[in-house]
Amino acid sequence: MSYLSLSEIKSGMTLEQVLVSPDGKMVFGQGTIVNDCLLARLNDWKVEGAEVAEEAIEFDFAEIEKIISVVTLGMTDKPEMKKMVQHAAELHMKIETELKRIFMLTRYHGAVPMDTLIHLVDKKIYPRLSQLDSFEQLHTQAAASDYLYRHALDVAFIAGYLGRWLGYGDGDIWNLTLAGLVHDIGKTKINFEMLSKSGRLNADEFKIAKNHTVWSYQLLAQTEFVSTVVLKAVLEHHEKLDGSGYPYRLQGNEITMLARIIAVADIYDALISNRYYHKGISPQEAIEIMVFQMANQLDTHVLACLIENLAQIGMIKIPVLYNSAI
């Protein structure tokens, strides 16, 4: 055990002391394993250093409950927060209506109106990433009928928030927001009957649906406005770290980091949202599925960051297994 400055602390090390947020709402207990999300949080807290065990250990997905040590004291001023979330929901609905029009134009003209999309990101989505109420209102129940557009907007917000929480720069956060917004735009090539089917897709239908990643890439690549990192994030957002994803069965580091973030945002929102063939589940249930049924498929640092922040605002409860010193 030794004291290291924050710049010397690396992922895989183990905290040997308790660290508390400035507002007292979050605690990292003794025994917490350091990851990128935790380092970003300590940097935000202006922590200069900490006592750590320097021997790095592998960040194991199956042990994710054991490596996240978060104490949540709950939200304060709940009536005021409720009002803020309602306001955010109204703004969200207006943006969703604009996005629906953009998707419709893409469907009927076979081209993405990128100037309109970029304006939407710049003026109405990206600026709201500084407001926590925009994240909380994503968890309000919505009708399944407009799932395609609602989901695209939700993923844009979730991916943008994850970028901020992970400590990414403004450029990457902007790219994540745009990639989230257009990650499923290739589904405009799929007929409405299949998209709105009341049951799960059969094998033939699923084979068609899986083409949406390539179709999204092709539609966006036709324009001169979309960067390579966004194109790759869109193309790869259904790839899995264990090679079980599509379209190219990429593995591990073959998958770009932005695509891994979009993947976590995409799956989480799909689980909590109402769809034609199932009702959305709670954030707690969604996280349990992602942790215990999708082992080795998702980026553990990204998922850990989502879990930490959901716990911080009181949406889920995480067992505190390494806080014996608290």
Instruction: Kindly list the catalytic residues.
Output: 187
Sign of CA dihedral 15, 16, 21, 24: positive
The structure tokens listed for 85 are: 């979330």
Give the largest CA-CA distance in the chain. Answer: 63
- Shortest CA distance to 177 belongs to which of 218, 227, 217? 227
CA distance 240 to 266: 13
- Shortest CA distance to 126 belongs to which of 168, 189, 84? 168
The structure tokens listed for 233 are: 């994030």
Are 58 and 33 in contact by the 8 Å Cβ rule? The answer is: no
- Identify the residue whose tokens are 């010193």: 325
User: In terms of residues, how long is the chain?
Assistant: 326
CA distance 130 to 157: 11
Rg of the chain over all Cα atoms, to the nearest angstrom: 20
Backbone dihedral angles phi then psi of residue 71, each to the nearest 5 degrees: -110, 120
First to last CA, the chain: 19
CA distance 183 to 176: 10
Question: What is the residue-wise DSSP string for 189-222?
Answer: GS-HHHHT-SS---HHHHHHHTTHHHHHHHHHHT
Are 18 and 325 in contact by the 8 Å Cβ rule? The answer is: yes
